A and B are shown apart, each in its own frame.
Chain A
Amino acid sequence: MNEDLRALIDAWLTGEITEDQSAELDRALREDPQAARLFAELARQEQDLRRFHRTRSDQRAAGQQPLSARHERQVTGDGPNRSDQRSTRAVSRHAGASGGQRLPRRTQRTRRRRTPIPIPILVPGLAVAALLVIGVVLLLREPPAPPVVEPQPVVEAPEMTPLPSEPAGPTVATLIEAVGLRVDGVPVALGAELAAGARVTTTAEGRATMRFDDGSTAVLGAGCELVLPPAGDATELVLERGRVVSEVQPRSAPYAVGGEHGRVTVLGTRFSVERQGARSLAAVERGRVQVAPTSGTAVELGPRDEAEFDASGIRALRREVVGVEAWRRYGSLADERDGRRLRVAFTNADLPWQAAAWYEPEPIDLTARPTVLAAQVTLPPRASDDDTRGVSLVVAPTLDFDQGDLHRQEFQAETFVRVIAIRGLVRLETKDGPDADEARQWIDRPALWERVAPQRPFRLELEVGPELVTLRLDGEQVFHGPHSLPLTSAHRGVRVMNKLLVGGEAVVDFRSWRVDGDSP
């Protein structure tokens, strides 16, 4: 009986069991305590085996050749290796996770994804371990002789051609930060003075900050190209591509960033302008700006407002319409509310699993305007192979629920969009009604390994509108597509479930926008 029962339990645990066998196992568990006990033992063993082999899998990611692959080559001579398989799986996942695709409505039952240690983490780790070993060996040796000071070789700085000490024209700004920057096609040194009318470009990984005479600054992102203003009191940057963030001091003369599509004039503020193909996007962090398309009516933007525009006019205007102040909290963690921002201090950093807290702002009608949840996150160091601490942001309907029973069951009963970020993995989940299964979609890109890594701050944003869902990581859009969710006016509200467990803090930044125009 024991061997048959073992086979049944094995078949159950592997999912390779027939309906009849399943019924037989169920009966055995109900009627025979010994069968239940054997099941419990094998279930524990199953977990232990998975844990053991996952550890080996991680070791393989470190470059150690797996036993199974060695063995298989010995047996078959040409067995496919795991990296090939992994690549194949990655390709197939990419195929399913590309932006703009309709989310699957049914749960994708996938085998558990292993989480190999990212090379960027592993390599430094091994290097540190090697240094420690070397250090111990050195300590165990005889005391070292007094150090002999020898002349150090002169390290030549990389060749860089500074701008001429006398700029070609009148100076309008000074370079206070420069990586991958060229001015009129020439690399420049930090501190260089930039001439009026100069063309400034940053490489695909470049960045630069210029300071103007009055203390105002302009930060150029990667892949940016702009033309500095001519000499004079007014400052107008002409943006040809990329993004520039300006912080403008109070001044009497105008400051503007313009281009083919129009001009954004500062009324005293910090704002950004980004060229996005056929349109530009202006976003204000504080203060006010005026956005004037080349033709069409100008609009003023206040804090946290955004406008998309092209030469013919304002294409979309997003204004914040709800000041969310009344966060209801259903958790055990400390927090501070600052309008729409929720600062969460995680005081329980030692907890082995996620501590979760729910936050619910005042109800928002999701059918009328998009909602954005954003969290600035720093994941803790990885505690073990099973450490899956991360952050989860949820847009779900508002429900009256019992505080004592506040977990996933309530919102799973309805419609929701959720994103989870855990150590190199980002997963988008949707549910389109009480009777539907969850649809899960992995966002799997190599860059995620570096971005969603322990002890590295990253910003996760989930935007849900009446029809579209967008996911951004560190400002980069990693998913954008229709969600097909049956949102109605009855479906409104937002919850944040913070499954984050860090020793520091996270800032959850909630926004709700009214959109006028045809975007996005």
Chain B
Amino acid sequence: MTPETHDKLSALLDQELDSTTRDQVTTELAGNPESKQVLAELQFIKSTIRGLPRVAPSTGFATRLMARIDDLDSESRPRWTNIFTLPRLAFGGVMSAVAAAAVVLVLVFTGVLDSTPSGAVVASGNSDGLAAEPIVRDKQPTIMLSENVDVSNLRFTRIDFHNGEVIRVDSNRRKNVRELDGDAYADVLEDVINDYAVWLTQNGVTTEAELKAKLQEMVAHFDLASYVRDSKDDVAHTTP
């Protein structure tokens, strides 16, 4: 038997021949016992292989996978790091003034997360009384510096820093800003204060107004809508 004939018999078995070739092979088969025998053997091989049991992963595979994805989903967002990464140095002069920068929040109005770039970045404030007044610009992420922001109707992304690196990003969760000022964030707070202090110093920021302006400038470097979109397919979005 030629290799070509064998190929056709094998493909006939898989119903992968066009109708003309199939009819031709079927006709030839009728008067050819050798081809019939080969076809029967091929059928045996194929059905035996298909009957082999599949090896299965261990129990809990899917659960472990989903847990990993949950972890990675939040880890994958430090694409903001490039924007916010700050060198860590000791600095005390403006420490209290920049305590507000411990946690940066991106607030997005409920329901617009997927498409509309409206939103705001909030630095939760301290008792030193950074301006409570939100700065709002339509269609752009804007900055609010306040610990008294009512976020009950907002969704937000919270970004925690440690040593200048984003260590945690939570999104799409409703939470009151004031909840962020608990003990759980004390360590992060200290580091971020230092980090921001360095960054602010390097950028000549010494007053509250300058702080707000700098934060706003920082926010203007990224496109919230792009970030949200890109976060879905893990394409880095780090506009410097």
Partners in one complex: no
